[in-house]
Amino acid sequence: MMLEIRGLNAGYAGRPILGNVSMRVDAGEVVTVIGHNGAGKSTLLKSVFNLVPWREGAIELEGRDLLPLSPDRILAAGIAYIPQNRSVFPRLTIDENLRMGGYLLSSAKRLAERIDAVRQLFPMLAQRATQLAGTLSGGEQRMLELARALLMDPKLLMLDEPSIGLAPKMVDAVFNAVRLLRDQGKAVLMVEQNVNKALACSDRGYVMELGEILLEDQAQRLIGDRRVAQLYMGRR
């Protein structure tokens, strides 16, 4: 198992949000979490990356306990996290942004190798290496974030609403990028409100409401589930 969460309770100062959440992501799997605004989806991803004030329960990456690790150790252990809010450095170039993703790499040679590898996945980034990231379109910035997240060659990527705010063509490009990641053998845990398109490129999905897991199933079955259709599809 790539990521395993058992009995997770987590939240903010004096305010519990997640209640007894258990879920897993297997190696090479794309898993999507859906749920209404405020359900706790972002809090779930932040909890894995040790970005919420309190957590109890178990979070393991390939059997390794993540609870005592700081976010940079979690990154080094093999998880990349792209938060819901845009995170490129607008006044840095594409290339400088990519290098930031590799700040934990100790050797210049390794950094150059990784930059080469992500440029092959996203050729646009090589062609426009010196363009300021702030001048990219929203979709292009998302691609840059994905590329930067891949710099450390993570085993698992956590993506919080990767398609939010994008034009339909770029939404498809983002989900195609997720498929590409899976083809590269990466595991992906994503939160999405673009339910149909996200489930269409996922293996399994979870439905979260009020901080708890309500449903878990194969993505194909969730797409056909009447409750899911009524509650979540057609929104946005």
Ligand X SMILES: Nc1ncnc2c1ncn2[C@@H]1O[C@H](COP(=O)(O)OP(=O)(O)OP(=O)(O)O)[C@@H](O)[C@H]1O
CB 33 within 8 A of CB 44: yes
Contact with ligand X (CB under 6 A): which of 1, 12, 67, 210?
12
Closer to Mg ion by CB, 152 or 208: give it. 208
C-alpha span between 24 and 141 (Å, rounded) = 29
Euclidean distance between CA atoms 181 and 174, whole angstroms: 11
Is residue 194 near ligand X by the rule CB under 6 A?
no
CA distances from 92 to 64, 110, 116 (A): 35, 21, 19
Which parts of 72-131 interact with ligand X (CB under 6 A)?
Answer: 84
> How would DSSP label each residue in 5-46?
EEEEEEEETTEEEEEEEEEEE-TT-EEEEE--TTSSHHHHHH
What is the per-residue binding string for ligand X in 43-62, x denoting contact by CB under 6 A?
Answer: x-------------------
Binding positions for ligand X, 63-82, rule CB under 6 A: none
Instruction: State which residue, 125 or 166, has the beta carbon closest to Mg ion.
Output: 166
Strand ranges of the sheet holding 64-65, from the earlier edge strand across to the other edge: 15-25, 3-12, 54-61, 64-65
- Of 36 and 179, CB closest to ligand X: 36
Of the candidate residues 14, 15, 85, 236, the single one contacting ligand X (CB under 6 A): 15
Residues in the site for Mg ion, rule: CB under 5 A? 41-42, 84
Told to check if 40 binds ligand X by CB under 6 A, we report yes
DSSP 65: E
Rule CB under 6 A: say whether 210 interacts with ligand X: no
Beta pairing class for 204-209 and 30-34: parallel
Task: Supply the minimum distance, in Å, between the C-beta of residue 33 and ligand X.
Answer: 8
Binding residues for ligand X, rule: CB under 6 A, are: 12, 15, 17, 35, 37-43, 84
